[in-house]
Structure 1
Amino acid sequence: MISELKLLNYRPVTKVNSAGQFSVKGNKVEVYRRSFDFPEGFQSKQKVSIHFVDNLAATIKDNKGKNLLTFKLDPLLLSRLHSDQIEDRVFVPFEKIPDLFINTLLLMEDRNYYHHQGISPFAIIRAFIVNFKAGYTVQGGSTLTQQLAKNLFLSQERSLWRKFQEAYIAVLMDYKYSKDKLLEAYLNEVYLAQNGKTGVYGIGLASDYYFARPVNELRIEQIALLVAIIKGPSYYNPRRNPARAIKRRDLVLRMMVESGLINSNDYRYAVSDPLSLSDKSALNERENPAFISFLHREMQQQVPASIRKISGLHIFTSIDPIAQTSAEFAVAHGLDKVDKNNQKGLQGAMVISDRKYAELKAIVSGRDVKYSGFNRALDADRSIGSLVKPAVYLTALEAGYALDTKLNDKEILLKNGTGQRWKPNNYDRKFRGQVSLEEALYKSLNVPTVNLGMQVGLSNVINSLYKLGVKEDIKAYPSLVLGSVSLSPFEVAQMYQPITMQGKFKSLQMIRSISSRQSELLYQRSNNTQLRFSPEAVEKLTDTLHKVTTHGTARSLTWRNPGHYFSGKTGTTNNLKDSWFVGFDDREVVTTWVGRDDNQSAKLTGSSGALILFSQYMTQRNK
């Protein structure tokens, strides 16, 4: 809970008085939630108390002591999708801009804004006199409306003709639009910073960029600094020129107290405060090219083109920031554990999905989560090895086989139509005579699996894979049952989803809903599921997959993550090229792959590679 609040830039305080604050006292967390336009409707700011028992939320009460069944926090802004013009902004409607901000801006930039008709002859004459006396440009005579006209329609060229055009357009704009609407446009258009190659436009995004908080939560000194920066974003850049920025901010504060916008106590407190800027990379740290890549694909596949073309969309996703952070940590640190001294050149990928709703919660495509190139989680098609075996055993359980059905574990030789021979072996090169169907699965024995696959029919196994969500064209070769099929980590996650949902199929997606800038619901994901397998057969399968983690190939989880109930399946491919593990608890399905980009041997089994990353994730997630 506290981690989530910190990610949302809620501020820890002793006493909660306003939105965006929280306090912790013993087992109670008090939160003052910000207002937000959720897809299901607007919810105003609200203060609640959440009582925890054994680290679980036991009760939620509002400020009148009434029990609440549910309570929603405002969502984290993960990223902003913008055009090739690389202008980045977060739109803030006029009614959500603090009065103090507007009054301070007008005080410093255009005192007669509400009284002129787009241009101010007096301001132009005054600026001319000041500049003439100085011998160079000291003061501008442009109104805010003229500045907006220049920003929207004109270049930065300094000429009388451009000034004339600017004034003419400003008069037309003032005639056509209300003063409040023009001021709203100006405050959402004004340039305030450069974030790498992307410009930061508008006070909404600038407030996040400089202070990591929404504009309606800015303190007095922060409002003064933003207004100061408007005068010259480069010249008064508080990160590059802090002394210059503070001097200009303090001038704004002095003007505020002299004009009665703030009192003397507010002034003394504000002027003594340091800049207190957020981390410079705060905006960029949330971005993850892996899930943005998936978001673009899902937009193309699921959302009508008529909606995709609309500007200002709010796209609500299932991404869990805590799960995402834990997955990124698990991949990076897990690979370091597996690949000491980086001698193997290993890479990894992880896909986290919600077991109940088939929603993507986190996605990692490699060691460097900011790398925007090849997306291993979506596009790295690799042989899946023993991960295919649950499909074989599920086919058998659906056909009436029992967990104690005996399977032959003896040397076999198979021939295809051209006379080619195939002699499968178990990983330990041993034969056990006969084993139960259950033991063959949790010990991941190859030979009994081949026998079972031939008995139930390869065509039936292939049909089961299609019902699980596999879309690849699959050939009916006996080696199929040992994992000759190639899938990406995301496709594997989809394949295991019905197994974790009692046999129900639902496509694994990330977009929950899309709203317009005016909060009109435009798209919502369907909740429909299809029952594709018998719940009884799936229950027997998942019970056996639990034994994989206690008595089988993933039994090291009993000491790596003691006290946790997991089910899962390891996967290892020929020559130890690919290491796989799919594990799940009562909440999440975690699909993990470890290998090399050059497709050389990783020298790892599923249990010595991918399983370690899974263990790292679960350790982080359950801290």
Structure 2
Amino acid sequence: MATRFLVSALAAVVVASAAGGGLVTATVHSDCPPVSALKAYRPPQASRVFTEDGQLLADLSPQRRIVVGLDRIPAIVRDGFVAVEDRRFWKHDGVDLRGVARALWRDLTSLSLKEGFSTIPMQLARNVFPEQLPRSEKFTRKICEIRLARQIEDEFTKREILELYLNQIYLGGGLYGVEAAAQGYFGKEISRVTPAEAALLIALVRSPEGYNPRKNPLLAIERRNIVLDVLKREGVLTEAEAERAKTEPLRLAPPLEAAGRAPYAIAAIRRELRERFGPDADIRGLRVYTGLDPALQRAAQEALVKQIERIESGAYGRYRHPVPGNGAAPADSAASPYLQGMLVAIDPHDGRIRALVGGRDFALSQFDRALQARRQPGSAFKPIVYAAALQQRIPPTTRIDAAPVSIDNAGSPVWQPADHLADSLSSLTLRDALALSSNNATVRLGQWIGVERVIDMARALGLTTEIQPYPSIVLGSAEVIPAELVAAYAAFANGGYRVEPHLITRVEDAHGNVLWQAPVERRRALDENVAFLVLSMLEDVVERGTGTAVRNAGFWLPAAGKTGTTNQSKDAWFVGMTPDLVAGVWIGFDRPQRILPNGSGGSLAAPAWAEFMKAAYRNRPAPAAWVPPPGLVTVPVDPATGSRATHRCPVEDVRIEYFLPGTEPHEYCPLHPESGAERFFRRLWDGIRGIF
């Protein structure tokens, strides 16, 4: 009895406050927006995204709020919203006293504050005036909602209130109102939705993002079915109709971004804006400027899709996996059954993302494999290992044992990495080991310098994913975010500076005031001389190593890069650079499996990189070649020995090698020794050159 008395007392306090004469109401009255503003209400402005040169790339909320008359909204939607959200809507005057008492009773008996009592007019007030309502405390805000709800009931008819509500309610994914939501989720007008689809829209009111069917399809279906039970109980649907609707599968239309020129980039921009400016960032009239280049974006999309389709056509061997057809169903997560890929291009000097393709078809899968995926990079990680070694002043002419290697870890089985090079190969220089992608030599190099130094270098270059100190990490066993790996390569092209990959360069409000600007900062990750040494070695990968497919495809501008292939050919990579662009290509399945029996980064990914670069430079000036920094020492060497070349060394074998000061060789090639007279005159000549 005491509990019921308390419930009645609390209900009376709330209702009395709403009536307009209490002290609480007097306190909050000045903070409540006038309901007259609702008559002059205009929907918020859509935020827009622009390319680097100012072209409009996307409207972040195209047709996201489509106003329709109540007569165009079917009864299943009208009656369904009322049945679930405000069953006594047609009887109360803005505040449902029974609902208030019921909510308070359930909160008290459950010792919680989970049960709400918002009516449709109260929800309308909350949705129309999200910024104007008091933010200081929940109770004050609720009283203001109650007061506005009463005033809304005085100013508008019930049908007008319901029409306003159904056109204003937020239903997730930037969709406001039932018409925009029907088109956004189902690709149809609200007048054509099925009972199951209507129930899903109603289900979204409680948690628009939590039950968003694109993000959480299982939760959305579960909530939808609960709504269907309510509609059956309230007589909106018959039992047979409700049970039949529960069996209907979730059929979603491709998201609106799929129709744009850079759908994956737009989706990523939308995520970042909401994180930085709140869930209503799409409709705040923001002007969002990016580093995206339309020509590069188009070239990236075409190069990636063309290469994936070539692989599927059997151009590289018999392809045994499913291929999407006209009736391919969209995937709502990172689980597409089809061959996928990504291509991201970054300005190596400031980290601006110039092009981003996160998958073969946004309509089939919205998962962004450039920014959201975590994949093993395989040998594409090796440049980081060699950078760490060069930083320890190990010259590129140093020879490393390339014979099969075994690593005995305490408490773990002996690890014997496979290598595509012949077991008979005895040793390789650092330069050749990277160019030919020797696993055995790289593992030994990692053991020599220590895997902790390799991890430190990866962190310095910007990799943020977990890297455990296991010997296998030098072969790319630790997962990386693809865009971060591509940005890490930028340091080799720009003189050793780490850059942060970013899409957005500047955000302005509707009046042109700058709200946020990408920080212009570059942190040194490694010595500029070391950066150039790695770059020079990566040039050899393209010229005579595992990346020669780039030249075979007809791209002849200055280029450097590295291939990557994971165990059983589950991932194919090529990450490379020109003096003003660094780009990476990954091809594989979302659920890792063999692409082709002998597939590799050189055969599968490098051709797509080359096609992208050829298109990229078709209408832009060719970049000047890289220039070595003045701090390096150049010495002609015989690669067979790593010693200074003599006049007797075969001219075709002599290489001008770069060294950090103090690491250059002083002894002369023992395989091709000079005569005493030759040695005398050479030293005399060297002395004369030193004077002048």
Shorter-chain-normalised TM-score: which range? Answer: 0.5 to 0.7
Q: 2:367 aligns with which of 374, 381, 387?
A: 374
Cα distance in 2 for partners of 1:333, 1:509 equals 26
Q: Could you tell me which residue of structure 2 aligns to residue 290 of structure 1?
A: 264
1:519-534 equivalence runs, <5 A: 519-534=512-527
Q: Which residue of 2 aligns with 1:26?
A: none
Instruction: Tell me the residue number matched to 1:602.
Output: 595
| Runs (5+) with no aligned partner, structure 1 | 1-37, 40-71, 89-151, 154-160, 167-192, 200-280
Provide the alpha-carbon RMSD of the alignment.
3.4
CA contact (8 A) 1:338 1:612 kept: no
Residue of 298, 306, 314 corresponding to 2:287: 314
Identity of aligned residues (%): 27
Shift of 1:322: 0.7
Matching of residues 41-440 of structure 1 within 5 Å: 75-82=54-61, 85-87=64-66, 197=183, 285-299=259-273, 303=276, 308=281, 311-340=284-313, 343-344=320-321, 345-371=338-364, 373-440=366-433
* Cα shift at 1:73: 8.9
Deviation of 1:533 after TM superposition, in Å, equals 0.4
SS in 1 for 2:386: helix
Contact 1:334 1:616 in 2 (8 A): no
Q: CA deviation at 1:518?
A: 1.1
Q: 1:539 aligns with which of 515, 529, 532?
A: 532
CA 354–196 in structure 1, closer or farther in 2 if over 3 Å, else same: farther
Separation in structure 1 between the aligned mates of residue 497 and residue 271 of structure 2, nearest angstrom: 24
Aligned length: 376
Query: Partner letter of residue 439 of structure 1?
Result: D
Matched, 1:620 2:615: yes
AA partner of residue 567 (structure 2)? N
Please give the alpha-carbon distance, in whole angstroms, between the structure 2 residues aligned to 1:442 and 1:300.
44
How far is the alpha carbon of 1:499 from its aligned partner? 2.4
Pairing 1:435-474 to 2, within 5 Å after superposition: 435-474=428-467
| CA drift at 1:452 | 0.7
1:466-489 deviation line (CA, Å, top 9, x unaligned): 111111221111111111111232
- SS at structure 2 position matched to 1:487: coil
Q: Deviations over 1:18-74 (max 9, x none)?
A: xxxxxxxxxxxxxxxxxxxx99xxxxxxxxxxxxxxxxxxxxxxxxxxxxxxxx996
Compute the displacement of 1:194 (Å). Answer: 9.7
Cα deviation, 1:569-616, whole Å, max 9, x if unaligned, reads 000000111101101112211111111233110121001111121122
Distance 2:589 2:391 in 1: 37
SS at match of 2:383: helix
Instruction: Identify the residue that residue 32 of structure 2 maps to in structure 1.
Output: none
Cα deviation for residue 567 of structure 1 reads 0.5
Tell me the distance in 1 between the aligned counterparts of 2:431 and 2:473. Answer: 20
SS at match of 1:527: coil
Q: Distance in 2 between matches of 1:468 and 1:74?
A: 29
Give the distance between the partners of 2:412 and 2:283, measured in 1 at CA. 60
TM-score (norm 1): 0.56
- Asked whether 1:493 is paired with 2:493, we answer no
Of residues 550, 566, 569, the one that matches 1:557 is 550
1:512 aligns with 2:505: yes
Q: Secondary structure at the match of 1:547?
A: helix
Q: What amino acid maps onto 1:496 in structure 2?
A: Y
- Contact kept, 8 Å, 2:488 with 2:498, in 1: the verdict is no
- Rounded Cα–Cα distance in structure 1 between residues aligned with 2:184 and 2:566: 44
- 2: CA distance, partners of 1:448 / 1:601: 25
Amino acid at match of 2:594: S
Deviation at 1:195, TM superposition (A): 13
SS in structure 1 of the partner of residue 381 of structure 2 = helix
**C-alpha contact (below 8 Å) 2:398/2:430 kept by paired residues:** yes
CA separation of 1:510 and 1:85: change in aligned 2, threshold 3 A = closer
Pick aligned residue for 1:592 from 573, 585, 599: 585
Q: Secondary structure at the match of 2:576?
A: strand
Conserved 8 A contact 2:489-2:576: no
Structure 2 residue ranges without an equivalent (≥5): 1-47, 68-127, 130-154, 161-178, 186-254, 322-337, 619-692
1:510–1:609: structure 2 CA closer, same or farther, 3 Å change rule?
A: same
Matched to 1:498, the amino acid is: A
Alignment-mate amino acid for residue 426 of structure 1: D
Query: What is the identity, as a one-letter code, of the residue corresponding to 1:339?
Result: E
Instruction: Report the secondary structure of 1:570's partner residue.
Output: strand
State the distance in 2 between where 1:296 and 1:194 align. Answer: 17
Paired residues of 1:290 and 1:372 also in contact (CA < 8 A): no
Higher strand share: 1
Distance 1:196 1:612, change over 3 A: farther
Q: What secondary structure, in the 3-state scheme, does the structure 1 residue paired with 2:477 have?
A: coil
Would the aligned equivalents of 2:397 and 2:429 in 1 still touch at CA under 8 Å?
A: yes
